[in-house]
Amino acid sequence: MRTQVAIIGAGPSGLLLGQLLHKHGIDNVILEARTGDYVLGRVRAGVVEKGTADLLAEAGAGDRLKREGLVHDGAEISFSGERHRIDFRELTGKAVVVYGQTEITRDLMDGRKATGGKTIYEAADVSLHDFDGNNPKVRYRKDGVEHEVACDFIAGCDGYHGISRRSVPSSSIKTFERVYPFGWMGLLSETPPVSHELIYIHHTRGFALCSMRSPTRSRYYVQCDAGDMTENWSDQRFWDELKARLDQKGRDELVTGPSIEKTIAPLRSFVAEPMRFGRLFLAGDAAHIVPPTGAKGLNLAASDIHYLSKALAEHYTEKSSAGIDGYSTRALARVWKAERFSWWMTGLLHKFPDTGEFGEKMQLAELEYLVSSKSAATALAENYVGLPY
């Protein structure tokens, strides 16, 4: 098989890249190790920046988000038993949209099917070859038969555990990582959200977050030990712990119910540099991970795809290598800003094992400054709604 761009991974970043390349008339094939149902079954965050929403519209996959997404003009931060609202719209003129990543994936899958794009699911033993030269290849096995895809470029959109980054010689890549000493215990329920906007909670018992997927489906999180297991968390224990961290108004208005799903997510910050190796490009979680506190994971992947799709379109339509030569530098400049914001939000809101009384006082002083200073609140709002590409 021959194509112009082989895309590894059929998550949101790979599917978005495929659709944007199709818009530019660039032939591409997506290889995915899992089934389509498995990909759709992965539950992820759903806070969408305007830049991401615009990219989905450009890819022809933004209509349902526009109709059904919940526009949030702000968010609340709770500490010392009181809530304080950060008004994104007033401070920046922008807002975010809450729309599940699963739904984004579904919309992109439907869009790819409508355009006739080729996606190969259950592609086993994918391997990348010769991307340091002019004729890269991707090999895989499907239904017991070996296949090879010859291409001009390879886009590694296969996540943190994927083959793309692992295919790069260790001498050519440098990684930066921080693993946090806690996780998020998450519960999904068919209950109305406790608030129409997200509530970020700093509490002596640990961080908590009140979020939602729709007006009738809520997503809640509480900070837990890094080695904890979902089996240790009955629904009742979760609701009791969340109530203990909520303000009084939140406790009074919280609607509880049976869980649909419970998961524990570890938190880490991770960046791999560079993001280009000859004719192989890394994008999304293959190149970087952020703790979910700043709602940047999906949006950061989308910004990578913005830079990469523009670079490849420039290569094919203008016969210029400037975009692909500058891809890693441009992408990483935004990556590190998002890493900084997510690291700052995580440090501000969570209880750390070694914080101590001094550290707790510093967090409270920072929070008080944040909600009393327009400049500080604007800095948070600018980062939360998304820095410009």
Catalytically active residues are: 72, 200, 292, 296, 384
Q: How far, in whole angstroms, is CA 187 from its chain's centroid? A: 18
Asked whether the CA dihedral 336, 338, 339, 340 is positive or negative, the reply is: positive
Distance CA 1, CA 135 (A): 13
Distance CA 141, CA 7 (A): 16
Radius of gyration of the CA atoms of the chain, in A: 21
Question: How does strand 259-273 pair with strand 288-289?
Answer: antiparallel
**158 in Cβ contact with 238 (< 8 Å):** no
2, 309, 59, 69 alpha-carbon torsion, rounded to 10°: 130
Distance CA 3, CA 41 (A): 29
> Buried b vs exposed e over 231-269: b needs ≥16 C-beta within 10 Å?
eebeeeebbebbeebbbeebeeebebeebeebebeebeb
Going by the DSSP 8-state scheme, the letter that residue 27 receives in this structure is -
Q: Which amino acid is at 79?
A: F
Bridge partners (DSSP) of residue 48 are 97
Bridge partners (DSSP) of residue 313 are none
Q: Which amino acid is at 40?
A: L
